[in-house]
Structure 1
């Protein structure tokens, strides 16, 4: 589902997602590319909007997980960004919930993905979008909420597989981020193996206040063909996850 200010909500059908969209204006940055990544917990806690206003409005990209399309969130997205794309994982009584990518440019490519939780039978979603950069490169952005309740890592790896195919066929910088639910040794190993296979680097945080489960962080940002200028984790009670804030600088094409 695509939300754009002044336009009706557009449903992007799966049959059309692999077709390139017309090349539009690039992300408005000739220097640091600011990115915010946050599992927003379906906006169930107070102050989520103030956190987004204070830290998200200056970012060129905001990658949300468990984003529920309430009027308040849609209003924020369409007031501060050119495009907001959401892959509904499941529909709550009033509003769909799933990953949502807010961007200061229109995507030139869009591919939604879903994977069903094997135990709860609820779906988790991922979204791949591509945006032009000022230097002529195309930036691929992967926003993911990984499956949580599964035995072993077969379904976990299955969710990553089509993402890997997209990254492997992309020329240019890549950002892959979100809530990876990497709470077990096998899951974190599978995730790091995937990142290694895709030549993705991990963003490291000096003051690491990321949400943890069984001693392991759940939220990650990986990248390729970019350099990290600054990275931090924002402490907040506005969700059960803390937002990740990163500034990248595009590198020359490799």
Structure 2
């Protein structure tokens, strides 16, 4: 209910005009070094094989941080550090970005909008710098507040190709699926023919049967596998989990989603290793 109320508040601010809220258009990519010039998110570059990068077996955290509005997120991040983190509703608050620096993370955040002096949007962080990254934003159909995605490439030990990482916060305030599918389309286009390993994860807002079936169908077309969690305490609306992890060219060794009071979503913790043979790119219409 609080998350819904915040979304309604931000939407009303956007419609009526609030000094504290401003939408960044086009979205800005923030890094520890400041703003970065945007790279068109339409084509992935061809990159040489890298010798150093993420370990062949790596830990992944996927978590909607609820804009750091609850205490305890510091302990949750430090107690079980991950090699790669895909975060949604991240904000550039100094205690948060300082913690990332202290833990040795290189990070990029899509600054979708600014509220009360802090930018919000998806963030991807890793213990190795990215080789490439580009942001996308899609406006919520009702309130026009952007939901964001971040596409990144990371060197992966033992892989001929970099790891393609897609971090998504899915559109929410839409009763149908047209906007949902439009937001997914350019991301699926980028992953469709990518020959290397791929992670496609985040808060998909897959809160209905129609959305969940559409999402699973589109992922299956590209031969993505869906991570199964044990225990599985993912945030749900009814029976439908909001947070999802899809992968290709990787082997999932373990996945869990345990309760946390530090956000209105529970963190997803997974361990992957590089498959012996990279999965062929999936087919998609």
TM-score (norm 1): 0.91
Unmatched runs of 5 consecutive residues or more in structure 2: 1-28, 279-285
Q: Which residue of 2 aligns with 1:38?
A: 63
Greater Cα radius of gyration, structure 1 or 2: 2
Q: 1:149 aligns with which of 160, 169, 173?
A: 173
1:53-75: CA deviation from partner (whole Å, max 9, x where unpaired) = 112x3x11011000011001111
Q: Which residue of 2 aligns with 1:121?
A: 144
Seen in structure 2, the aligned counterparts of structure 1 residues 19 and 145 have a Cα distance that, compared at 3 Å, is: closer
1:191-210 superposed matches below 5 A: 191-210=215-234
Seen in structure 2, the aligned counterparts of structure 1 residues 190 and 52 have a Cα distance that, compared at 3 Å, is: same
Q: Secondary structure, in 3 states, of the residue corresponding to 1:159?
A: helix
Q: Which residue of 1 aligns with 2:78?
A: 53
Q: Is the 8 A contact 1:46 1:238 kept in 2?
A: yes
CA drift of 1:253 comes to 3.2
Q: Secondary structure, in 3 states, of the residue corresponding to 1:10?
A: strand
Unmatched runs of 5 consecutive residues or more in structure 1: none
Please state if 1:134 is matched with 2:160.
no
Q: Secondary structure, in 3 states, of the residue corresponding to 1:118?
A: coil
Please state if 1:170 is matched with 2:194.
yes
Aligned residue pairs: how many? 248
Please state if 1:26 is matched with 2:52.
yes
Give me the CA root mean square deviation: 1.9
C-alpha distance in structure 1 between counterparts of 2:163 and 2:149, whole Å = 16
C-alpha distance in structure 2 between counterparts of 1:142 and 1:119, whole Å = 25
Q: Is the 8 A contact 2:38 2:135 kept in 1?
A: no
Q: Secondary structure, in 3 states, of the residue corresponding to 2:36?
A: coil
